[in-house]
Structure 1
Amino acid sequence: MAAAIAAAGSLLPLDDLKLPDHLDGVRMEQDGHLNRDYHKEVIIGNHEEFEEGDEEEKEKKLREIFFKVDTDLDTYISQEELEEWIQVKVQEHFDESTDETERIFKHLDSDKDGTVAWEEFHVHFLLAKGVSAEEAEKQVSDYYAVGSLDPDAKENLIRYKFRWAEADLDPQDNKLTMEEFASFRHPEQSKDMLERLVKEIMDNLDQDSNDEISLKEFVALPPGEIEYAAQDSDKMWQNEREKEFKEVVDLNSDGKITKDELKVYMDPKNPTHSRSEAASLIQMADENNDGKLSLTEVLDNEDLFMGSKMVHTGQSFHDEF
Protein backbone atom coordinates (compact mmCIF):
# COMPACT_ATOMS: atom_id res chain seq x y z
CA MET A 1 0.00 0.00 0.00
CA ALA A 2 2.67 2.49 1.03
CA ALA A 3 4.84 1.79 -2.00
CA ALA A 4 1.87 2.21 -4.35
CA ILE A 5 0.91 5.53 -2.77
CA ALA A 6 4.47 6.81 -2.89
CA ALA A 7 4.95 5.64 -6.49
CA ALA A 8 1.73 7.30 -7.59
CA GLY A 9 2.88 10.57 -6.09
CA SER A 10 -0.47 10.93 -4.35
CA LEU A 11 0.80 12.00 -0.95
CA LEU A 12 -1.28 14.44 1.04
CA PRO A 13 0.56 17.22 2.90
CA LEU A 14 0.90 16.66 6.62
CA ASP A 15 -1.35 19.64 7.42
CA ASP A 16 -4.23 17.84 5.72
CA LEU A 17 -3.73 14.78 7.90
CA LYS A 18 -3.35 16.51 11.23
CA LEU A 19 -6.54 16.93 13.19
CA PRO A 20 -7.25 20.65 13.35
CA ASP A 21 -6.52 22.09 16.79
CA HIS A 22 -8.30 25.26 15.79
CA LEU A 23 -12.01 25.09 15.05
CA ASP A 24 -13.34 28.12 13.20
CA GLY A 25 -16.43 29.73 14.69
CA VAL A 26 -16.14 27.85 18.00
CA ARG A 27 -15.43 29.74 21.22
CA MET A 28 -12.95 27.25 22.68
CA GLU A 29 -10.22 25.11 21.14
CA GLN A 30 -10.14 21.36 21.65
CA ASP A 31 -7.42 21.74 24.29
CA GLY A 32 -9.48 24.16 26.39
CA HIS A 33 -7.84 27.36 25.17
CA LEU A 34 -10.09 30.27 24.22
CA ASN A 35 -10.37 30.93 20.50
CA ARG A 36 -8.69 34.33 20.26
CA ASP A 37 -10.04 34.89 16.74
CA TYR A 38 -13.69 34.20 17.59
CA HIS A 39 -14.86 37.82 17.16
CA LYS A 40 -13.24 38.06 13.74
CA GLU A 41 -14.46 34.66 12.59
CA VAL A 42 -18.12 35.42 13.31
CA ILE A 43 -17.94 38.91 11.78
CA ILE A 44 -15.68 38.74 8.73
CA GLY A 45 -15.49 35.00 8.09
CA ASN A 46 -12.18 34.06 6.47
CA HIS A 47 -9.98 36.58 8.26
CA GLU A 48 -6.45 35.33 7.50
CA GLU A 49 -5.96 37.67 4.55
CA PHE A 50 -6.47 40.65 6.84
CA GLU A 51 -4.02 39.62 9.56
CA GLU A 52 -1.24 41.73 8.08
CA GLY A 53 -3.41 44.04 6.00
CA ASP A 54 -2.96 47.80 6.13
CA GLU A 55 -5.42 50.09 7.89
CA GLU A 56 -7.01 51.22 4.65
CA GLU A 57 -7.87 47.64 3.68
CA LYS A 58 -9.28 46.88 7.13
CA GLU A 59 -11.48 49.96 7.08
CA LYS A 60 -12.71 49.11 3.59
CA LYS A 61 -13.59 45.60 4.72
CA LEU A 62 -15.44 46.83 7.80
CA ARG A 63 -17.44 49.28 5.68
CA GLU A 64 -18.44 46.49 3.29
CA ILE A 65 -19.54 44.26 6.15
CA PHE A 66 -21.47 47.04 7.86
CA PHE A 67 -23.73 47.63 4.85
CA LYS A 68 -24.24 43.88 4.36
CA VAL A 69 -25.30 43.42 7.99
CA ASP A 70 -27.62 46.45 7.84
CA THR A 71 -30.37 44.60 5.98
CA ASP A 72 -33.13 47.14 6.65
CA LEU A 73 -30.92 49.94 5.27
CA ASP A 74 -31.51 52.31 8.20
CA THR A 75 -27.72 52.98 8.51
CA TYR A 76 -27.56 51.17 11.85
CA ILE A 77 -26.86 47.58 12.89
CA SER A 78 -29.39 46.20 15.37
CA GLN A 79 -28.76 43.23 17.63
CA GLU A 80 -31.16 41.13 15.53
CA GLU A 81 -29.28 41.96 12.32
CA LEU A 82 -25.97 41.14 13.96
CA GLU A 83 -27.33 37.83 15.28
CA GLU A 84 -28.44 36.81 11.79
CA TRP A 85 -25.07 37.77 10.31
CA ILE A 86 -23.17 35.75 12.92
CA GLN A 87 -25.32 32.68 12.20
CA VAL A 88 -24.49 33.02 8.50
CA LYS A 89 -20.75 33.29 9.19
CA VAL A 90 -20.76 30.25 11.48
CA GLN A 91 -22.56 28.24 8.79
CA GLU A 92 -19.93 29.36 6.28
CA HIS A 93 -17.22 27.93 8.53
CA PHE A 94 -19.15 24.66 8.68
CA ASP A 95 -19.46 24.57 4.91
CA GLU A 96 -15.73 25.30 4.46
CA SER A 97 -14.74 22.51 6.83
CA THR A 98 -17.16 20.14 5.07
CA ASP A 99 -15.60 20.89 1.69
CA GLU A 100 -12.10 20.39 3.08
CA THR A 101 -13.08 17.11 4.76
CA GLU A 102 -14.66 15.78 1.56
CA ARG A 103 -11.53 16.63 -0.43
CA ILE A 104 -9.26 14.80 2.03
CA PHE A 105 -11.63 11.83 2.31
CA LYS A 106 -11.84 11.35 -1.45
CA HIS A 107 -8.04 11.43 -1.68
CA LEU A 108 -7.65 8.81 1.06
CA ASP A 109 -10.40 6.58 -0.35
CA SER A 110 -8.16 5.24 -3.10
CA ASP A 111 -10.35 2.23 -3.94
CA LYS A 112 -13.49 4.40 -4.01
CA ASP A 113 -15.51 2.06 -1.80
CA GLY A 114 -16.94 4.92 0.26
CA THR A 115 -14.84 4.21 3.34
CA VAL A 116 -11.34 4.94 4.59
CA ALA A 117 -9.61 2.30 6.70
CA TRP A 118 -7.36 3.29 9.59
CA GLU A 119 -4.45 1.58 7.81
CA GLU A 120 -4.88 3.90 4.82
CA PHE A 121 -4.84 6.98 7.03
CA HIS A 122 -1.90 5.61 9.03
CA VAL A 123 0.17 4.99 5.91
CA HIS A 124 -0.51 8.45 4.52
CA PHE A 125 0.45 10.02 7.84
CA LEU A 126 3.75 8.12 8.02
CA LEU A 127 4.67 8.94 4.44
CA ALA A 128 3.82 12.61 5.00
CA LYS A 129 6.20 12.55 7.98
CA GLY A 130 9.01 11.38 5.70
CA VAL A 131 8.98 7.70 6.68
CA SER A 132 10.08 5.40 3.87
CA ALA A 133 7.49 3.24 2.14
CA GLU A 134 9.15 0.08 3.46
CA GLU A 135 9.17 1.28 7.05
CA ALA A 136 5.61 2.56 6.75
CA GLU A 137 4.38 -0.87 5.63
CA LYS A 138 6.14 -2.47 8.59
CA GLN A 139 4.76 -0.05 11.16
CA VAL A 140 1.20 -0.38 9.88
CA SER A 141 1.29 -4.18 9.86
CA ASP A 142 3.19 -4.57 13.15
CA TYR A 143 1.91 -2.51 16.11
CA TYR A 144 5.10 -3.15 18.06
CA ALA A 145 7.45 -2.16 15.25
CA VAL A 146 9.97 0.45 16.35
CA GLY A 147 9.73 3.38 13.98
CA SER A 148 11.60 6.60 13.44
CA LEU A 149 8.74 8.98 14.26
CA ASP A 150 9.45 11.78 16.69
CA PRO A 151 7.70 11.62 20.10
CA ASP A 152 5.14 14.30 19.20
CA ALA A 153 4.12 12.46 16.03
CA LYS A 154 3.77 9.20 17.95
CA GLU A 155 1.62 10.91 20.55
CA ASN A 156 -0.55 12.42 17.84
CA LEU A 157 -1.03 9.04 16.17
CA ILE A 158 -2.17 7.50 19.45
CA ARG A 159 -4.62 10.37 19.98
CA TYR A 160 -5.86 10.09 16.41
CA LYS A 161 -6.40 6.36 16.80
CA PHE A 162 -8.58 6.91 19.87
CA ARG A 163 -10.54 9.61 18.06
CA TRP A 164 -10.87 7.30 15.04
CA ALA A 165 -12.35 4.56 17.23
CA GLU A 166 -14.82 7.03 18.76
CA ALA A 167 -15.98 8.15 15.33
CA ASP A 168 -16.25 4.55 14.06
CA LEU A 169 -19.92 3.81 14.72
CA ASP A 170 -22.04 0.84 13.65
CA PRO A 171 -20.54 -1.26 12.17
CA GLN A 172 -17.29 -0.83 14.10
CA ASP A 173 -15.02 -2.10 11.37
CA ASN A 174 -12.05 0.27 11.77
CA LYS A 175 -13.25 2.06 8.65
CA LEU A 176 -14.89 5.46 8.48
CA THR A 177 -17.62 6.56 6.13
CA MET A 178 -17.67 10.15 4.89
CA GLU A 179 -19.99 11.14 7.76
CA GLU A 180 -17.82 9.37 10.34
CA PHE A 181 -14.66 10.91 8.90
CA ALA A 182 -16.27 14.35 9.27
CA SER A 183 -16.91 13.57 12.94
CA PHE A 184 -13.31 12.43 13.30
CA ARG A 185 -11.98 15.75 11.98
CA HIS A 186 -14.65 18.08 13.35
CA PRO A 187 -16.27 16.63 16.49
CA GLU A 188 -18.04 19.94 17.19
CA GLN A 189 -20.32 19.22 14.23
CA SER A 190 -21.50 15.83 15.50
CA LYS A 191 -23.82 15.45 18.49
CA ASP A 192 -22.13 12.26 19.72
CA MET A 193 -18.63 13.57 19.18
CA LEU A 194 -19.49 16.90 20.78
CA GLU A 195 -20.24 14.96 23.96
CA ARG A 196 -16.79 13.40 23.81
CA LEU A 197 -15.15 16.75 23.02
CA VAL A 198 -16.79 18.28 26.09
CA LYS A 199 -15.57 15.35 28.20
CA GLU A 200 -12.04 15.84 26.87
CA ILE A 201 -12.05 19.51 27.82
CA MET A 202 -13.58 18.74 31.22
CA ASP A 203 -10.80 16.23 31.85
CA ASN A 204 -8.19 18.85 30.90
CA LEU A 205 -9.56 21.63 33.09
CA ASP A 206 -11.23 19.83 36.01
CA GLN A 207 -8.14 19.52 38.22
CA ASP A 208 -9.90 18.12 41.31
CA SER A 209 -12.05 15.69 39.29
CA ASN A 210 -15.37 16.75 40.80
CA ASP A 211 -17.12 17.00 37.41
CA GLU A 212 -17.22 20.80 37.65
CA ILE A 213 -14.87 23.55 36.55
CA SER A 214 -14.34 26.31 39.07
CA LEU A 215 -13.23 29.83 38.18
CA LYS A 216 -9.82 29.03 39.66
CA GLU A 217 -9.47 25.97 37.40
CA PHE A 218 -10.70 27.86 34.34
CA VAL A 219 -8.17 30.67 34.70
CA ALA A 220 -5.25 28.49 35.83
CA LEU A 221 -2.15 28.99 33.70
CA PRO A 222 -1.17 26.06 31.49
CA PRO A 223 1.41 23.74 33.05
CA GLY A 224 5.04 24.56 32.41
CA GLU A 225 7.76 26.86 33.55
CA ILE A 226 6.77 30.36 34.65
CA GLU A 227 8.48 33.06 32.66
CA TYR A 228 8.69 36.19 34.76
CA ALA A 229 9.09 38.32 31.66
CA ALA A 230 5.62 37.18 30.58
CA GLN A 231 3.80 37.97 33.84
CA ASP A 232 1.87 40.92 32.36
CA SER A 233 0.75 38.71 29.48
CA ASP A 234 -0.20 35.95 31.92
CA LYS A 235 -2.38 38.38 33.84
CA MET A 236 -4.03 39.62 30.63
CA TRP A 237 -4.68 36.02 29.59
CA GLN A 238 -6.22 35.16 32.97
CA ASN A 239 -8.38 38.29 33.00
CA GLU A 240 -9.75 37.36 29.59
CA ARG A 241 -10.64 33.86 30.76
CA GLU A 242 -12.26 35.18 33.95
CA LYS A 243 -14.44 37.50 31.87
CA GLU A 244 -15.42 34.61 29.58
CA PHE A 245 -16.23 32.40 32.59
CA LYS A 246 -18.47 34.95 34.29
CA GLU A 247 -20.19 36.50 31.27
CA VAL A 248 -20.55 33.63 28.82
CA VAL A 249 -19.90 30.11 30.13
CA ASP A 250 -21.36 30.08 33.66
CA LEU A 251 -24.96 30.46 32.54
CA ASN A 252 -26.57 30.41 36.00
CA SER A 253 -23.77 32.44 37.65
CA ASP A 254 -23.21 29.91 40.43
CA GLY A 255 -19.42 30.07 40.16
CA LYS A 256 -18.91 26.72 38.45
CA ILE A 257 -19.21 25.22 34.99
CA THR A 258 -21.09 21.96 34.59
CA LYS A 259 -20.88 19.55 31.70
CA ASP A 260 -24.23 20.80 30.37
CA GLU A 261 -23.07 24.43 30.45
CA LEU A 262 -19.87 23.50 28.67
CA LYS A 263 -21.87 21.62 26.06
CA VAL A 264 -23.96 24.71 25.32
CA TYR A 265 -20.79 26.79 25.18
CA MET A 266 -19.03 24.41 22.78
CA ASP A 267 -21.96 23.84 20.39
CA PRO A 268 -21.39 26.40 17.62
CA LYS A 269 -24.93 25.96 16.28
CA ASN A 270 -26.56 26.82 19.58
CA PRO A 271 -28.47 30.11 19.04
CA THR A 272 -27.25 31.24 22.46
CA HIS A 273 -23.89 32.01 20.86
CA SER A 274 -25.08 34.37 18.16
CA ARG A 275 -27.37 36.09 20.65
CA SER A 276 -24.75 36.58 23.35
CA GLU A 277 -22.01 37.52 20.88
CA ALA A 278 -24.20 40.13 19.19
CA ALA A 279 -25.23 41.57 22.54
CA SER A 280 -21.63 41.60 23.74
CA LEU A 281 -20.28 43.32 20.63
CA ILE A 282 -22.97 45.99 20.74
CA GLN A 283 -22.38 46.58 24.44
CA MET A 284 -18.65 47.06 23.87
CA ALA A 285 -18.91 49.27 20.77
CA ASP A 286 -22.14 51.19 21.37
CA GLU A 287 -20.61 54.51 22.43
CA ASN A 288 -23.87 56.47 22.75
CA ASN A 289 -25.80 53.60 24.39
CA ASP A 290 -28.68 53.58 21.90
CA GLY A 291 -28.67 49.79 21.58
CA LYS A 292 -27.38 49.70 18.01
CA LEU A 293 -24.20 50.34 16.06
CA SER A 294 -23.48 53.15 13.65
CA LEU A 295 -20.78 52.94 11.01
CA THR A 296 -18.68 55.38 13.03
CA GLU A 297 -18.92 53.17 16.13
CA VAL A 298 -17.85 50.12 14.14
CA LEU A 299 -14.88 51.93 12.60
CA ASP A 300 -13.91 53.44 15.96
CA ASN A 301 -13.72 49.91 17.39
CA GLU A 302 -11.70 48.32 14.61
CA ASP A 303 -9.56 46.34 17.07
CA LEU A 304 -12.67 44.72 18.52
CA PHE A 305 -13.87 43.45 15.14
CA MET A 306 -10.56 42.90 13.33
CA GLY A 307 -8.30 41.92 16.22
CA SER A 308 -5.66 43.74 18.20
CA LYS A 309 -1.94 42.95 18.05
CA MET A 310 -1.67 43.95 21.69
CA VAL A 311 -4.22 41.36 22.70
CA HIS A 312 -2.72 38.74 20.39
CA THR A 313 0.69 39.20 21.98
CA GLY A 314 -0.67 38.43 25.41
CA GLN A 315 -2.62 35.42 24.24
CA SER A 316 0.11 33.92 22.11
CA PHE A 317 2.06 32.79 25.17
CA HIS A 318 -0.63 30.21 25.85
CA ASP A 319 -1.85 29.09 22.45
CA GLU A 320 -1.48 25.45 23.51
CA PHE A 321 -2.16 23.71 26.82
Structure 2
Amino acid sequence: MTAPALPASDASSPPDRPAVRDGSGPDRVPRLWHELRAVHALVHRDLLRLAAQPVHTGLMLVQPMLYLFILGGGLAALIPNSSLGGGYQTYLFPGVLMMTVQTPAIMVGIRLITDRQSGYVRELLMAPVRRPTLLLGTCAGGTLVATVQGAVLLTLVGAIGLPYDPLLLLTLLVGMMLTSFTLTALALTLAVTLDRPEVFNMLLGLVMMPLLLLSGGFFPVGNLPGWAQALAAANPLAYGVDVLRRCIAARVPDRAAPTTVEWSGWQPPVLLEGTLLLTVGILALLWAAHRFGRPE
Protein backbone atom coordinates (compact mmCIF):
# COMPACT_ATOMS: atom_id res chain seq x y z
CA MET A 1 0.00 0.00 0.00
CA THR A 2 1.37 3.38 -0.93
CA ALA A 3 1.23 6.42 1.40
CA PRO A 4 -1.24 9.13 0.48
CA ALA A 5 0.32 12.03 -1.38
CA LEU A 6 0.70 15.39 0.41
CA PRO A 7 -1.22 18.40 -0.88
CA ALA A 8 0.65 20.52 -3.36
CA SER A 9 0.96 23.37 -0.85
CA ASP A 10 2.82 21.08 1.61
CA ALA A 11 5.05 19.28 -0.88
CA SER A 12 7.89 21.77 -0.55
CA SER A 13 7.98 21.94 3.27
CA PRO A 14 8.63 19.26 5.92
CA PRO A 15 5.49 17.80 7.51
CA ASP A 16 6.63 18.78 11.04
CA ARG A 17 7.13 22.49 10.28
CA PRO A 18 4.48 24.54 12.13
CA ALA A 19 2.14 26.56 10.00
CA VAL A 20 2.77 30.29 9.85
CA ARG A 21 0.08 32.25 11.66
CA ASP A 22 -1.01 35.48 10.07
CA GLY A 23 -2.99 36.75 13.06
CA SER A 24 -6.36 36.08 11.42
CA GLY A 25 -9.17 33.74 12.32
CA PRO A 26 -9.22 32.08 15.76
CA ASP A 27 -5.60 33.09 16.48
CA ARG A 28 -6.43 36.81 16.40
CA VAL A 29 -8.17 36.95 19.79
CA PRO A 30 -5.43 35.04 21.70
CA ARG A 31 -2.77 37.24 20.10
CA LEU A 32 -4.67 40.38 21.08
CA TRP A 33 -5.09 38.99 24.59
CA HIS A 34 -1.32 38.49 24.90
CA GLU A 35 -0.72 42.06 23.75
CA LEU A 36 -3.19 43.44 26.30
CA ARG A 37 -1.67 41.34 29.07
CA ALA A 38 1.76 42.75 28.23
CA VAL A 39 0.43 46.33 28.43
CA HIS A 40 -1.27 45.53 31.73
CA ALA A 41 1.93 44.03 33.15
CA LEU A 42 3.97 47.13 32.29
CA VAL A 43 1.36 49.46 33.75
CA HIS A 44 1.17 47.32 36.88
CA ARG A 45 4.95 47.48 37.21
CA ASP A 46 4.90 51.28 37.15
CA LEU A 47 2.12 51.40 39.75
CA LEU A 48 4.05 49.04 42.02
CA ARG A 49 7.12 51.23 41.67
CA LEU A 50 5.03 54.28 42.57
CA ALA A 51 3.57 52.57 45.66
CA ALA A 52 6.99 51.28 46.76
CA GLN A 53 8.59 54.75 46.70
CA PRO A 54 6.31 57.07 48.71
CA VAL A 55 9.21 59.26 49.85
CA HIS A 56 10.45 59.75 46.31
CA THR A 57 6.94 60.57 45.14
CA GLY A 58 6.48 63.06 47.97
CA LEU A 59 9.75 64.80 47.15
CA MET A 60 8.66 65.17 43.53
CA LEU A 61 5.60 67.07 44.75
CA VAL A 62 7.59 69.47 46.96
CA GLN A 63 8.78 71.75 44.16
CA PRO A 64 5.32 72.34 42.61
CA MET A 65 3.89 73.06 46.07
CA LEU A 66 6.68 75.56 46.77
CA TYR A 67 5.91 77.33 43.50
CA LEU A 68 2.22 77.39 44.30
CA PHE A 69 2.33 78.65 47.88
CA ILE A 70 5.63 80.55 48.19
CA LEU A 71 6.08 82.02 44.70
CA GLY A 72 2.35 82.32 44.14
CA GLY A 73 1.70 83.74 47.59
CA GLY A 74 4.53 86.25 47.31
CA LEU A 75 3.60 87.54 43.87
CA ALA A 76 -0.10 87.59 44.64
CA ALA A 77 0.40 90.76 46.68
CA LEU A 78 2.23 92.47 43.81
CA ILE A 79 0.05 91.51 40.84
CA PRO A 80 -3.46 93.00 40.74
CA ASN A 81 -6.26 90.48 40.42
CA SER A 82 -7.91 92.48 37.67
CA SER A 83 -5.05 91.79 35.26
CA LEU A 84 -5.37 88.02 35.65
CA GLY A 85 -9.10 87.59 36.14
CA GLY A 86 -8.49 86.33 39.68
CA GLY A 87 -5.72 85.77 42.19
CA TYR A 88 -2.24 84.93 40.99
CA GLN A 89 -2.32 81.56 42.73
CA THR A 90 -5.37 80.60 40.70
CA TYR A 91 -3.59 81.74 37.56
CA LEU A 92 -0.48 79.78 38.56
CA PHE A 93 -2.32 76.57 39.40
CA PRO A 94 -2.48 75.14 35.82
CA GLY A 95 1.24 75.78 35.41
CA VAL A 96 1.93 73.99 38.69
CA LEU A 97 -0.15 71.03 37.53
CA MET A 98 1.90 71.01 34.34
CA MET A 99 5.13 70.90 36.37
CA THR A 100 3.74 68.04 38.45
CA VAL A 101 2.92 65.77 35.51
CA GLN A 102 5.98 66.79 33.53
CA THR A 103 8.57 65.25 35.86
CA PRO A 104 7.27 61.64 35.93
CA ALA A 105 6.56 61.81 32.20
CA ILE A 106 10.18 62.77 31.51
CA MET A 107 11.48 60.07 33.83
CA VAL A 108 9.82 57.46 31.60
CA GLY A 109 12.25 58.41 28.84
CA ILE A 110 15.25 58.29 31.18
CA ARG A 111 14.15 54.91 32.49
CA LEU A 112 13.81 53.52 28.96
CA ILE A 113 17.42 54.47 28.19
CA THR A 114 18.76 52.99 31.45
CA ASP A 115 16.70 49.82 30.93
CA ARG A 116 18.28 49.40 27.51
CA GLN A 117 21.74 49.83 29.00
CA SER A 118 21.10 47.34 31.81
CA GLY A 119 19.69 44.69 29.47
CA TYR A 120 16.16 44.80 30.88
CA VAL A 121 14.70 45.83 27.52
CA ARG A 122 16.47 42.88 25.89
CA GLU A 123 14.73 40.57 28.35
CA LEU A 124 11.38 42.22 27.59
CA LEU A 125 11.91 41.67 23.88
CA MET A 126 11.96 37.92 24.52
CA ALA A 127 8.26 38.06 25.37
CA PRO A 128 5.94 36.80 22.59
CA VAL A 129 4.52 40.24 21.89
CA ARG A 130 5.27 42.95 19.37
CA ARG A 131 7.85 45.60 20.17
CA PRO A 132 5.42 48.51 19.73
CA THR A 133 3.20 46.89 22.37
CA LEU A 134 6.00 47.17 24.91
CA LEU A 135 6.40 50.84 24.12
CA LEU A 136 2.64 51.37 24.37
CA GLY A 137 2.62 49.75 27.81
CA THR A 138 5.51 51.95 28.91
CA CYS A 139 3.66 55.05 27.69
CA ALA A 140 0.42 53.99 29.39
CA GLY A 141 2.22 53.36 32.68
CA GLY A 142 4.01 56.70 32.58
CA THR A 143 0.77 58.50 31.73
CA LEU A 144 -1.08 56.90 34.63
CA VAL A 145 1.69 57.58 37.15
CA ALA A 146 1.95 61.24 36.08
CA THR A 147 -1.84 61.63 36.32
CA VAL A 148 -1.91 60.10 39.80
CA GLN A 149 0.76 62.49 41.03
CA GLY A 150 -1.09 65.43 39.52
CA ALA A 151 -4.31 64.26 41.16
CA VAL A 152 -2.65 64.67 44.56
CA LEU A 153 -2.38 68.42 43.96
CA LEU A 154 -6.08 68.59 43.08
CA THR A 155 -6.76 68.17 46.78
CA LEU A 156 -5.32 71.68 47.26
CA VAL A 157 -7.81 73.55 45.10
CA GLY A 158 -9.59 74.85 48.20
CA ALA A 159 -6.36 76.42 49.48
CA ILE A 160 -6.19 78.72 46.43
CA GLY A 161 -9.84 79.72 46.49
CA LEU A 162 -11.31 77.21 44.03
CA PRO A 163 -14.37 75.14 44.95
CA TYR A 164 -14.30 71.38 45.41
CA ASP A 165 -16.63 70.99 42.46
CA PRO A 166 -16.71 67.33 41.29
CA LEU A 167 -17.10 68.35 37.64
CA LEU A 168 -14.22 70.82 37.93
CA LEU A 169 -11.96 68.16 39.46
CA LEU A 170 -13.00 65.65 36.81
CA THR A 171 -12.26 67.99 33.90
CA LEU A 172 -8.90 68.93 35.40
CA LEU A 173 -8.10 65.24 35.83
CA VAL A 174 -8.96 64.54 32.18
CA GLY A 175 -6.87 67.53 31.08
CA MET A 176 -3.90 66.29 33.12
CA MET A 177 -4.23 62.79 31.68
CA LEU A 178 -4.24 64.19 28.15
CA THR A 179 -1.20 66.37 28.88
CA SER A 180 0.60 63.49 30.62
CA PHE A 181 0.07 61.25 27.60
CA THR A 182 1.50 63.82 25.20
CA LEU A 183 4.52 64.57 27.38
CA THR A 184 5.22 60.87 27.93
CA ALA A 185 4.99 60.16 24.21
CA LEU A 186 7.35 63.03 23.41
CA ALA A 187 9.81 61.83 26.08
CA LEU A 188 9.76 58.32 24.59
CA THR A 189 10.26 59.76 21.11
CA LEU A 190 13.44 61.41 22.31
CA ALA A 191 14.55 58.38 24.34
CA VAL A 192 14.37 55.87 21.46
CA THR A 193 16.80 57.99 19.45
CA LEU A 194 19.42 58.35 22.20
CA ASP A 195 21.75 55.87 23.84
CA ARG A 196 22.93 57.71 26.96
CA PRO A 197 20.84 59.27 29.74
CA GLU A 198 23.39 62.09 30.08
CA VAL A 199 22.58 63.33 26.57
CA PHE A 200 18.87 63.00 27.31
CA ASN A 201 19.19 65.12 30.46
CA MET A 202 21.30 67.72 28.68
CA LEU A 203 18.76 68.12 25.89
CA LEU A 204 15.92 68.38 28.38
CA GLY A 205 17.80 71.06 30.31
CA LEU A 206 18.10 73.08 27.11
CA VAL A 207 14.53 72.57 25.93
CA MET A 208 12.23 72.26 28.95
CA MET A 209 12.90 75.63 30.57
CA PRO A 210 12.06 77.67 27.43
CA LEU A 211 8.99 75.51 26.90
CA LEU A 212 7.82 76.12 30.46
CA LEU A 213 8.42 79.87 30.25
CA LEU A 214 6.52 80.04 26.96
CA SER A 215 3.65 77.89 28.21
CA GLY A 216 1.83 80.77 29.88
CA GLY A 217 1.81 78.86 33.14
CA PHE A 218 3.68 81.52 35.13
CA PHE A 219 2.88 84.80 33.37
CA PRO A 220 0.79 85.92 30.37
CA VAL A 221 2.70 85.81 27.11
CA GLY A 222 0.56 88.48 25.47
CA ASN A 223 3.11 91.20 26.29
CA LEU A 224 6.04 89.29 24.83
CA PRO A 225 7.45 90.05 21.35
CA GLY A 226 5.63 88.62 18.37
CA TRP A 227 8.23 85.93 17.73
CA ALA A 228 7.87 84.70 21.32
CA GLN A 229 4.09 84.58 20.99
CA ALA A 230 4.50 82.57 17.79
CA LEU A 231 6.71 80.08 19.64
CA ALA A 232 4.13 79.88 22.40
CA ALA A 233 1.44 79.04 19.84
CA ALA A 234 3.61 76.12 18.67
CA ASN A 235 4.43 74.95 22.21
CA PRO A 236 2.56 71.76 23.24
CA LEU A 237 2.91 72.74 26.91
CA ALA A 238 0.99 75.96 26.17
CA TYR A 239 -1.94 73.92 24.90
CA GLY A 240 -1.87 71.78 28.03
CA VAL A 241 -1.87 74.82 30.30
CA ASP A 242 -4.58 76.44 28.21
CA VAL A 243 -6.83 73.37 28.46
CA LEU A 244 -6.44 73.26 32.25
CA ARG A 245 -7.01 77.00 32.61
CA ARG A 246 -10.14 76.95 30.50
CA CYS A 247 -11.47 74.01 32.51
CA ILE A 248 -11.29 76.28 35.55
CA ALA A 249 -12.90 79.18 33.68
CA ALA A 250 -15.79 76.96 32.58
CA ARG A 251 -16.74 76.09 36.16
CA VAL A 252 -15.61 79.27 37.94
CA PRO A 253 -16.26 82.15 35.49
CA ASP A 254 -15.16 84.85 37.94
CA ARG A 255 -11.69 83.25 37.99
CA ALA A 256 -11.30 83.22 34.20
CA ALA A 257 -7.71 84.08 33.28
CA PRO A 258 -6.25 85.19 29.95
CA THR A 259 -5.39 82.27 27.71
CA THR A 260 -2.07 81.66 26.03
CA VAL A 261 -2.80 80.23 22.60
CA GLU A 262 -4.01 82.59 19.88
CA TRP A 263 -3.84 82.17 16.12
CA SER A 264 -3.62 85.63 14.55
CA GLY A 265 -5.87 87.02 17.24
CA TRP A 266 -8.32 84.10 17.12
CA GLN A 267 -8.70 81.91 20.17
CA PRO A 268 -9.22 78.24 19.23
CA PRO A 269 -11.93 76.32 21.12
CA VAL A 270 -10.87 74.12 23.99
CA LEU A 271 -11.96 70.98 22.15
CA LEU A 272 -9.72 71.91 19.23
CA GLU A 273 -6.80 72.51 21.60
CA GLY A 274 -7.37 69.15 23.25
CA THR A 275 -7.62 67.43 19.86
CA LEU A 276 -4.34 68.97 18.71
CA LEU A 277 -2.66 67.95 21.95
CA LEU A 278 -3.92 64.38 21.56
CA THR A 279 -2.84 64.31 17.90
CA VAL A 280 0.69 65.39 18.77
CA GLY A 281 0.90 62.63 21.38
CA ILE A 282 -0.43 59.95 19.03
CA LEU A 283 1.92 60.95 16.20
CA ALA A 284 4.89 61.03 18.58
CA LEU A 285 4.01 57.60 19.97
CA LEU A 286 3.56 56.13 16.48
CA TRP A 287 6.94 57.42 15.39
CA ALA A 288 8.58 56.16 18.60
CA ALA A 289 6.92 52.75 18.14
CA HIS A 290 8.18 52.62 14.55
CA ARG A 291 11.72 53.48 15.68
CA PHE A 292 11.57 51.09 18.64
CA GLY A 293 10.27 48.30 16.41
CA ARG A 294 13.40 48.31 14.29
CA PRO A 295 15.87 45.55 15.22
CA GLU A 296 19.00 46.84 16.91
- TM, length-normalised to structure 1: 0.29
Higher CA-based Rg: 2
Tell which has more relative contact order, 1 or 2 (C-alpha 8 A, sep 6+).
Answer: 1
Greater helix proportion: 2
